[in-house]
């Protein structure tokens, strides 16, 4: 099934064509164009292919690719049908429309309420609420659910941060169930009591320990009080051992759905657990970045250039092993020998701080590589930088990558986890193998030397993120999955 239209439905560019949805529901493999609402329906390479409108050569290439690759056609067709069944259920959408009509009939705008078919109470559970990618996604989701009329609570075990205060200020209930030790006999009892007292319709767990203890606590509740359990895949988890995968499989057996933030993560988990892919549902991270103040961006850029440097390379993230920072410093040392007016900024904290400081000294990079510590104005730093680098050994779908793309920065990263879903190498950014120091150095030099390339990659990246990774899209997809499983 091919729909190469530029304008949709009666000559305008609004909406998603019903013919395309029907074809996907029937299990057809779809090719369409990046116009109007179609990218909300088709995620390129996941459940179909998207081409640029008016580009006959690109359309021909896409058709030839599908005709020559039967396994790809099958994978895309199966994913397309799941998208229609799970995300475009007519009863759920009709219920939302009816609720909207009823609200509009009131002269005074009442508080948002859950549409028919939606769960009314959702609990998001994680082990800790420190500042991290998953925690920021939890906050965005909780705020989005509240705006859709769903009562939401966030339950966590340890390490609160300003994110908890942000939730509380928005009127979202936060529940801390203290876990005082690795073996804490009373913890499961307290967790069970907290879940029972708040009485959620759905419990969505965001971390391994939250999944394990959450599944046990829910299992101990009377059947009539037991909420629907949803577990998560937030990366490819190559570091899991056999016992962890066994526990993950048991948790999956207790879950109505497993929500993954990337297809790669879902497929990897399915292989490791020998678990059917139809139990997984892919919902991409949503990224929202406020455009930083231009004057502040200029001040930061001048502060770090210091009339000595002309290019700023930025890393943002935890200073931990899987971020691959020792290799980044090795590659950057090669770069500085050829482009001495380049500076690397490392924004973040973590256990490798002292080791990285020592390595910077050993490589003679004291003036060229700066450890900035935790930064509260990351968007301004990204805007001040010429490019953003994340050379990770493993990732889920990195918020840092998505935030940099949303701001139109050129991104250099690695093809791990869900990153290749966000970055088509050479189109939305540059990807190099995480263990190839020389390739990383060459890619840095290429981007440093070619401002036009950085500009082109940044524009394409920004367009893709705004199109496919918005917080409203993430919240809508999550809510649809919550609604689907809670109606079973």
Q: Return the H-helix or E-strand segment holding 137.
A: helix 133-147
State how far the Cα of 34 lies from the Cα of 463, in Å rounded to an integer. Answer: 11
pLDDT at residue 488, rounded to an integer: 64
pLDDT at residue 88, rounded to an integer: 62
pLDDT at residue 116, rounded to an integer: 60
Per DSSP, 11 falls in state T
Distances 265 to 13, 223, 269, 443 between C-alpha atoms, Å: 34, 31, 6, 26
Q: What is the mean pLDDT of residues 449-473?
A: 90
pLDDT at 13 over 50: no
pLDDT at 3 over 50: no
State how far the Cα of 203 lies from the Cα of 207, in Å rounded to an integer. Answer: 12
Asked which of 101-115, 152-166, 291-305, 332-346 is least confident by mean pLDDT, the reply is 101-115
State how far the Cα of 19 lies from the Cα of 15, in Å rounded to an integer. Answer: 12
pLDDT at residue 262, rounded to an integer: 84
Q: Where are the domains of the chain?
A: 18-87, 117-286+470-486, 294-468
Determine contact, residues 129/163, Cβ cutoff 8 Å.
yes
Report the Cα 440 to chain-centroid distance in Å. Answer: 24
- Token readout for 180 is 């005082």
pLDDT at 110 over 90: no
Pairing of strands 430-431, 410-413: parallel
Other beta carbons within 10 angstroms of residue 316's beta carbon come to 24
Per DSSP, 183 falls in state S
pLDDT at residue 103, rounded to an integer: 47
Residue found by looking up tokens 């010429």 in the block: 386
pLDDT at residue 112, rounded to an integer: 59
- Token readout for 228 is 């629907």
Residue 1: closest CA among 14, 12, 21, 16: 21
pLDDT at residue 210, rounded to an integer: 96
Structure confidence by residue, pLDDT tens digits, 345-402: 999 988 999 999 999 999 999 999 999 998 888 999 999 999 999 999 988 788 899 9
Rounded to 10°, the helix 242-254/263-273 angle is 100
Q: Is 169 exposed, middle or buried (0-12, 13-18, 19+ CB in 10 A)?
A: exposed
CATH superfamily of 294-468: Glycogen Phosphorylase B; (3.40.50.2000)
pTM of the model: 0.64
Structure confidence by residue, pLDDT tens digits, 58-81: 888 888 888 888 888 888 888 887
Cα angle: 258, vertex 158, 176; to 5 degrees = 85
Q: What is the mean pLDDT of residues 217-246?
A: 92
Q: How confident is the model at residue 109 (pLDDT cuts 50, 70, 90)?
A: very low
Asked which of 94-108, 233-247, 452-466, 473-487 is least confident by mean pLDDT, the reply is 94-108
pLDDT at residue 55, rounded to an integer: 81
Percentage of residues of the chain with pLDDT beyond 90: 59
Asked which of 86-100, 110-124, 280-294, 300-314 is least confident by mean pLDDT, the reply is 86-100
Topology match between the domains 18-87 and 117-286+470-486? yes
pLDDT at residue 181, rounded to an integer: 81
- The count of C-alpha atoms lying within 13 angstroms of the C-alpha of 147, restricted to the half-sphere facing its C-beta, is 11
CATH superfamily of 18-87: Glycogen Phosphorylase B; (3.40.50.2000)
Q: What is the mean pLDDT of residues 465-487?
A: 87
pLDDT at residue 218, rounded to an integer: 96
Looking at every residue in the chain, the average pLDDT score rounds to: 87
pLDDT at residue 176, rounded to an integer: 97
Helices (H), 229-324: 242-254, 263-273, 294-305
pLDDT at residue 9, rounded to an integer: 29
State how far the Cα of 373 lies from the Cα of 298, in Å rounded to an integer. Answer: 20
Contacts with 267 (C-beta within 8 Å, 6 or more apart), sequence order: 277
Contacts with 216 (C-beta within 8 Å, 6 or more apart), sequence order: 188
pLDDT at 102 over 60: no
- Token readout for 365 is 């990079």
Structure confidence by residue, pLDDT tens digits, 112-151: 565 666 788 999 999 999 877 788 889 999 999 999 999 9
Beta strands in 132-207 (DSSP E): 151-158, 173-176, 202-205
pLDDT at 7 over 50: no
Q: How confident is the model at residue 473 (pLDDT cuts 50, 70, 90)?
A: confident
Determine contact, residues 465/287, Cβ cutoff 8 Å.
yes
Strand partners, 32: 50
DSSP assignments along 270-293, one per residue: HHHHT--GGGEEE-PPP---PPPP
Q: Return the H-helix or E-strand segment holding 147.
A: helix 133-147
pLDDT at residue 412, rounded to an integer: 98
Residues belonging to the chain: 488
Determine contact, residues 328/439, Cβ cutoff 8 Å.
no
Rounded to 10°, the helix 471-486/70-87 angle is 80
- Calculate Rg over the CA atoms of the chain: 23
Structure confidence by residue, pLDDT tens digits, 154-190: 999 998 988 999 999 999 999 999 998 877 879 999 9
Q: What is the mean pLDDT of residues 281-307?
A: 91
Q: How confident is the model at residue 96 (pLDDT cuts 50, 70, 90)?
A: very low
CATH superfamily of 117-286+470-486: Glycogen Phosphorylase B; (3.40.50.2000)
């Amino acid at each position: 099934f091919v729909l190469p239209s530029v304008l949709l439905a009666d000559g305008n560019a609004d909406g998603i064509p019903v013919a395309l949805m029907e074809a996907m529901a029937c299990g057809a493999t779809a090719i369409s164009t990046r116009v109007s609402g179609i990218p909300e329906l088709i995620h390129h390479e996941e459940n179909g292919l998207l081409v640029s409108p008016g580009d006959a050569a690109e359309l021909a290439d896409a058709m030839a690719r599908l005709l020559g690759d039967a396994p790809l056609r099958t994978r895309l067709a199966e994913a397309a049908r799941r998208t229609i069944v799970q995300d475009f259920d007519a009863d759920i959408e009709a219920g939302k429309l009816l609720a909207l009509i009823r609200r509009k009939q009131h002269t005074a705008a009442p508080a948002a309420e859950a549409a028919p078919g939606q769960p009314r109470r959702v609990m998001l559970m994680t082990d800790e609420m420190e500042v991290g990618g998953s925690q920021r996604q939890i906050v965005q989701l909780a705020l989005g659910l509240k705006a859709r009329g769903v009562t939401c609570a966030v339950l966590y075990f340890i390490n609160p941060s300003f994110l908890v205060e942000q939730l509380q200020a928005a009127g979202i209930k936060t529940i801390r169930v203290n876990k005082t030790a690795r073996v804490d006999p009373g913890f499961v009892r307290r967790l069970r009591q907290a879940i029972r007292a708040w009485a959620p319709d759905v419990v969505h767990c965001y971390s391994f320990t939250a999944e394990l203890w959450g599944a046990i606590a829910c299992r101990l509740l009377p059947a009539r009080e037991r909420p629907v359990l949803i577990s998560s895949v937030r990366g490819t988890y190559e570091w899991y051992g056999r016992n962890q995968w066994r526990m993950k499989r048991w948790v999956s057996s207790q879950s109505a759905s497993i929500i993954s933030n990337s297809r790669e993560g879902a497929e990897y988990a399915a292989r490791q657990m020998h678990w059917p892919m139809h139990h997984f549902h892919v919902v991409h991270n949503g990224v929202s970045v406020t455009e930083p103040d231009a004057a502040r961006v200029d001040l930061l850029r001048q502060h770090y250039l210091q009339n000595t440097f002309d290019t700023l390379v930025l890393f943002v993230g935890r200073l931990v092993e899987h971020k691959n920072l020792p290799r980044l410093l090795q590659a950057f040392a090669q770069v500085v020998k050829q482009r001495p007016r380049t500076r690397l900024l490392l924004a973040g904290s973590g256990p490798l701080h002292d080791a990285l400081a020592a390595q910077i000294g050993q490589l003679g990079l004291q003036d060229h590589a700066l450890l900035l510590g935790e930064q509260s104005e990351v968007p301004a730093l990204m805007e001040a930088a010429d490019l953003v680098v994340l050379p990770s050994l493993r990732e889920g779908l990195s918020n840092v990558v998505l935030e940099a793309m949303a701001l139109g920065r050129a991104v250099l990263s690695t093809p791990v986890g869900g990153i290749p879903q966000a970055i088509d190498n050479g189109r939305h950014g540059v990807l190099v193998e995480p263990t190839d120091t020389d390739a990383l150095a060459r890619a840095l030099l290429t981007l440093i030397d070619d401002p036009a390339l950085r500009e082109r990659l940044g524009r394409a990246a920004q367009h893709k993120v705004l199109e496919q990774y918005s917080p409203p899209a993430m919240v809508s997809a999550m809510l649809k999955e919550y609604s689907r499983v809670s109606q079973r």
